Structure 1
């Protein structure tokens, strides 16, 4: 586009212009909006609010003024931004559930933990708290530098004196350009103890400091369930997080029933949204153990959770709710702050405390210099007064008779300009006789104070001693015995509940019957079905396995490839159709077949065998697969494949081959493994194992023939078949089924 004629046109590089302007914007956001100063822990808007309230004389002991008045002064004099954003910042400083040590004492509706907003600024009133007064202490004593406001008509402090560890005590959060900060609130008594320890031992490690500052202390309480090592590491690097859980207890309702009462919720969680989420979990039955949720909160939080039955484990119910709701929350730690108010930097716990202590020393020195100047000025004036009292008649004569009394006084008594001016401005009532004694007393006191301040400024140990005294006074005011200073957040270890138990608690427990067909199709019928004669299957398909299970169970599938696959019973297709092929639910090879399907019982052990007669015992707890690929347990090489899987309950093994050779040997001869080929159970010239059984000597061996008749043989009757593992065996006992099968299901 051609620019219009007239005027000077300057060509600029678009890339350079964008970089320059975006950098200016980024720096403005980082320095003047989003990141707090490490020295007073405040962002500019909060600093300006407190300074404006101080100018309005809204001290802790004074009356309240409308928030609209405060906001008007802030945006008119110091902060040229929207009034609502300034009011929101002021409101947060007054919310006891948002700020650990409120800086503003609010009167009126300042919002609540449910997430309701504050009333309009024309209805609410405010004044400063004792904490804010500590932050501003010494502002009139040249403690910090001032700069011009945005319009150049006034002055504002660059940083506050900060006689309170506000950065860590109240925390801060903000998002700048390319960086962010997130600092949770801490307990002031612990911070003061850590600062005092750091004064005594400047090289103190973060590990030692973390033993004093045990972790955050949230205004809403709660329980931190991270271990001490993780908390220490977060404080060492300046980055990390804390798992915070709600505080709860069980209330007995009589007759064996109970309810769970939540009295504290995690920091920055809105109670109303938490209740909505819990109600949604009840409605969708995602947590079957939970029957109802009620909000009985008044001044304090009281959320009542009603279990579905009196037999429900309260701890297990809470563990499942911690996983699915904001009853457990993660509070991040990112101590990215402005060092010296200029350089953004991620600091460790020790660096943040050191920055605050160095600032306190600088404030102490500046206030001492200011006081020293005042004392010197007053001593000079007092020196003139004393000379005047000693020569009172001559002074009066000079004032009455001389045309230039000031110059004459300076000439006669060798006074300074200040002394002569002060004598001339003296009131007549001050010419009493007693006034001289008071002047000399004041002169002596100020001379002594001057010597003390000069000694303080020359001695660094005395400076730190004074700072330690100041910190000690803050600790007394906000100590652990005070209502505001008492630690609210406690520490505990998370209960070690099995993840499987927690996962199962989220599933509604119902009886089902699992049906598996010959061609590997699986489905689940509701209830424990006894009559399966009405079941229909696809053409050329029929029933292979039928299991009674519950929706909380895991179903294990053993394939001829030696792999175990895990299916969640609650995820099985319903029984209206023919189900789904197991091969689509897990990654089972097409050339493999299903050997066995059974309900997982982690306490059991199983005996596995392949077509080559090898096998071993495996704990069933080791068979659960966490992925679709399954878990390889029995190693087989083609043409061999897995053939048998039976429960290893007993002390003897009976095995029969396809060649109708029968062998019994002790189970202790079979090793227990988690994966492998195993050892030879029985030797064959051709074929492989047909069936096997583990039984107890005391009970004897039981088998069932095709007619349903049961036969039991004692160890005495079977003594001719007992041999060492790996032998060929001999023909089976009399009346053993021709099918070479023991006749009962291998696994219940």
Structure 2
């Protein structure tokens, strides 16, 4: 009979248990989070492997895929891993296997691949039925001693087999190959490092357990990426990252200049940052080129074969190569950041962010534990063998009697045990002896082996009794690894270099990223902005929305910064390249910057860092401000002049000459020295002219020597000399006198 589909209790509701949803979710989500952290995403600090990688290496050992044997199909390896150890998809296992074989992904590959294992352009590996693999020497080091009870084994997922819970790890794999993973609520990201440097640091740590991270960083300079590149971080920030276990590294591409003859040149990139796909990098750069975001660059070509060779062609030979590269570093993945987050399973159980010293210390403690366990295992083997050899010696001394007992007795084993006081193991070994072992020489061989093993036994016992001897052995083991992967070997030499990022003016880079073209900036009365191509001399043909008209127009270059001054006393900065083109009416200023609704534009002009500006409010307050102090870096702008309603900012003009002429709405004019106006970076300013009612109408700065000039409605220019102006010259904040004869009716200087 099949399973009953009726729930217990005959289908009534008695057996339904109410469950608190919050509690149920918490329990289940916590269980999922823990399994992800422990069994998927975080590496073990001792062997630097996640379970999938450990299972792949273990399965390859069982398949006897040693570096000196033949290859096996990857499908065979993946099948073995999936069937016995890793109950997940075959593709995820194969992807992990492929990555372990890629010399551009892993600093010291654990798998030796044959066939297409993908490339740095981001192409995938061939299907697992076409590719083959075997272990590398690094894998052999990680497994060293696994058959000698060096580590614990645990049942596999179906409890049919056993798998190691961690590998013996005679190679500093966690830091040498790095790791990255995202669990639930925590992530890890460890860059690859140089194995020889790690061995040096570990040896130093054995001798000086109290060594600081700062001292260890003298050995471990920083990451050593398989793809090379240049790290441009300061030593201080690298040290802090290793002390806290968190930080990041700025990695730049390596490039050089190649002379093409007749003064022309190309730049050639030979190493790109780690983890960047070359094809995607070139594609993105080409897109920026098409979008005219890289005006210094003419073309980009990929001439790579086995090695990387990306050719950058400059717009002209006068381009500064450093500036070209800085603009590329800023916009493309030729510079990238690699995060450091040493979040690993400490002692294989607890997720923890460790410092460089902690990671090395835990690895060394694991190596010591492995050494002790292997030594104890060997000791047990020796003791068993010595017991058997002792039995053999007794047998040889009484060989004829032994043969007689075996031939004549019904229970030879019991008789021999009673006769010579043998143990069960010894008697069994004698009974299982072959006839050919009864030669004369054999006794000598047995004595020799017995003495040799006895000496080894006393050595191991001495090792187990002395911590100093254990550390000496570990030093010798690490020394061997360092020799094998030393800086003089091909795989061991450092690939990533260190350099200081060249000091480049950010403004220069910003300029370099914009194509320089002449434009005419048009501002309408209602605050609509646009940039027309070219320098237009006639603005009368411009069209505006109904009820709107031209407020001002001026010439600029796309590389210029524009400053906008509003009635609220705020300055806004806009890049001329950001303005909409000449088609249509442009865009309202409030879309481009965060300008308050009750404010209007007073004026706009091209930023010139060398000038000073005179700001004046309607009520006649004002001050001088250097133009560099009013540049705003955000959309919110910069409050420079403090005005309270009903007052508002009215004028902003560049300072020239040494005197100021100011005219009020009451047509009174006052002339006073410019030096009486203070220079400030922000404030209300000081009173320039006194009014009973009304406010300021116009203002001009001029050189007294040359006289004050103005234009009337017929465009005639009048100049008043110093002597003619005497009666208007006074002190700041005076009321002034009625304007001179011939002054324009508008009350403005023209």
Tell me the TM-score normalised to structure 1 length.
0.87
Counterparts of 2:458 and 2:643, CA distance in 1: 94
Q: Give a deviation string over 1:703-730, Cα, whole Å, max 9, x none.
A: 4644767788999999998877666778
Residue of structure 2 in register with 1:260 after alignment? 267
**SS of alignment partner, residue 153 of structure 1:** coil
What are the equivalent positions in structure 2 for 1:556-635 lying under 5 Å apart?
Answer: 556-582=563-589, 585-588=592-595, 592-635=599-642
Residue of structure 2 in register with 1:292 after alignment? 299
Residue of structure 2 in register with 1:746 after alignment? none
**Over aligned residue pairs, what C-alpha RMSD do you find?**
3.7
User: More displaced, 111-120 or 323-332?
Assistant: 323-332
Judging changes above 3 Å, is the alpha-carbon distance between structure 1 residues 169 and 728 closer, same or farther for their aligned structure 2 residues?
A: same
Counterparts of 1:54 and 1:258, CA distance in 2: 53
Residue of structure 2 in register with 1:378 after alignment? 385
Deviation for aligned residue 1:425: 4.5
Deviation for aligned residue 1:336: 3.2
Deviation for aligned residue 1:105: 0.4
Specify which of 192, 195, 199 is matched with residue 188 of structure 1.
195
Q: Does 1:11 align with 2:10?
A: no
User: More displaced, 413-422 or 45-54?
Assistant: 413-422
Judging changes above 3 Å, is the alpha-carbon distance between structure 1 residues 23 and 512 closer, same or farther for their aligned structure 2 residues?
A: closer
Deviation for aligned residue 1:741: 6.0
Residue of structure 2 in register with 1:344 after alignment? 351
Q: Give a deviation string over 1:261-287, Cα, whole Å, max 9, x none.
A: 222222222222222222222222233
Deviation for aligned residue 1:302: 1.7
Judging changes above 3 Å, is the alpha-carbon distance between structure 1 residues 632 and 710 closer, same or farther for their aligned structure 2 residues?
A: same
Instruction: Verify the 8 A CA contact 2:697 2:748 in the aligned structure 1.
Output: no
Residue of structure 2 in register with 1:317 after alignment? 324
User: More displaced, 43-52 or 492-501?
Assistant: 492-501
Residue of structure 2 in register with 1:242 after alignment? 249
Q: Give a deviation string over 1:677-704, Cα, whole Å, max 9, x none.
A: 3345566777647322255x9x855746
Instruction: Verify the 8 A CA contact 2:520 2:536 in the aligned structure 1.
Output: yes
Judging changes above 3 Å, is the alpha-carbon distance between structure 1 residues 227 and 411 closer, same or farther for their aligned structure 2 residues?
A: same
Q: Which runs of 5+ in 2 are unaligned?
A: none
Instruction: Verify the 8 A CA contact 2:670 2:729 in the aligned structure 1.
Output: no
Deviation for aligned residue 1:731: 9.1
Judging changes above 3 Å, is the alpha-carbon distance between structure 1 residues 557 and 134 closer, same or farther for their aligned structure 2 residues?
A: same
Specify which of 665, 668, 681 is matched with residue 673 of structure 2.
665
Specify which of 337, 361, 364 is matched with residue 357 of structure 1.
364
Counterparts of 2:253 and 2:148, CA distance in 1: 45
Specify which of 94, 104, 121 is matched with residue 87 of structure 1.
94
Counterparts of 2:580 and 2:130, CA distance in 1: 60
Specify which of 131, 137, 147 is matched with residue 140 of structure 1.
147
Counterparts of 1:66 and 1:591, CA distance in 2: 75
Judging changes above 3 Å, is the alpha-carbon distance between structure 1 residues 649 and 141 closer, same or farther for their aligned structure 2 residues?
A: farther
Residue of structure 1 in register with 2:288 after alignment? 281
User: More displaced, 492-501 or 445-454?
Assistant: 492-501
Counterparts of 2:669 and 2:578, CA distance in 1: 43
Deviation for aligned residue 1:259: 2.7
What are the equivalent positions in structure 2 for 1:340-739 lying under 5 Å apart?
Answer: 340-388=347-395, 406-407=413-414, 409-426=416-433, 435-518=442-525, 520-536=527-543, 543-582=550-589, 585-588=592-595, 592-648=599-655, 652-658=658-664, 661=669, 663-665=671-673, 667=675, 670-681=677-688, 688=696, 690-693=698-701, 695=703, 700=706, 703=709, 705-706=711-712
Instruction: Verify the 8 A CA contact 2:520 2:553 in the aligned structure 1.
Output: yes
Instruction: Verify the 8 A CA contact 2:698 2:749 in the aligned structure 1.
Output: no
**SS of alignment partner, residue 197 of structure 1:** helix
Judging changes above 3 Å, is the alpha-carbon distance between structure 1 residues 421 and 714 closer, same or farther for their aligned structure 2 residues?
A: farther
User: More displaced, 138-147 or 713-722?
Assistant: 713-722
Residue of structure 2 in register with 1:109 after alignment? 116
Deviation for aligned residue 1:456: 1.4
Q: Which runs of 5+ in 1 are unaligned?
A: 744-748
Judging changes above 3 Å, is the alpha-carbon distance between structure 1 residues 400 and 33 closer, same or farther for their aligned structure 2 residues?
A: same
Q: Give a deviation string over 1:393-446, Cα, whole Å, max 9, x none.
A: 666666667666555554554444444444455556655665555544433332
Judging changes above 3 Å, is the alpha-carbon distance between structure 1 residues 563 and 69 closer, same or farther for their aligned structure 2 residues?
A: closer
Residue of structure 1 in register with 2:224 after alignment? 217
Counterparts of 2:653 and 2:393, CA distance in 1: 112
Instruction: Verify the 8 A CA contact 2:670 2:730 in the aligned structure 1.
Output: no
Judging changes above 3 Å, is the alpha-carbon distance between structure 1 residues 579 and 396 closer, same or farther for their aligned structure 2 residues?
A: closer
Q: Give a deviation string over 1:105-136, Cα, whole Å, max 9, x none.
A: 01111111112221222222111001000111
Counterparts of 1:591 and 1:87, CA distance in 2: 64
Instruction: Verify the 8 A CA contact 2:294 2:327 in the aligned structure 1.
Output: yes
Deviation for aligned residue 1:599: 0.5
Tell me the TM-score normalised to structure 2 length.
0.87
What are the equivalent positions in structure 2 for 1:153-192 lying under 5 Å apart?
Answer: 153-192=160-199
User: More displaced, 163-172 or 584-593?
Assistant: 584-593
Counterparts of 2:550 and 2:38, CA distance in 1: 74
Counterparts of 1:716 and 1:615, CA distance in 2: 27
User: More displaced, 514-523 or 601-610?
Assistant: 514-523
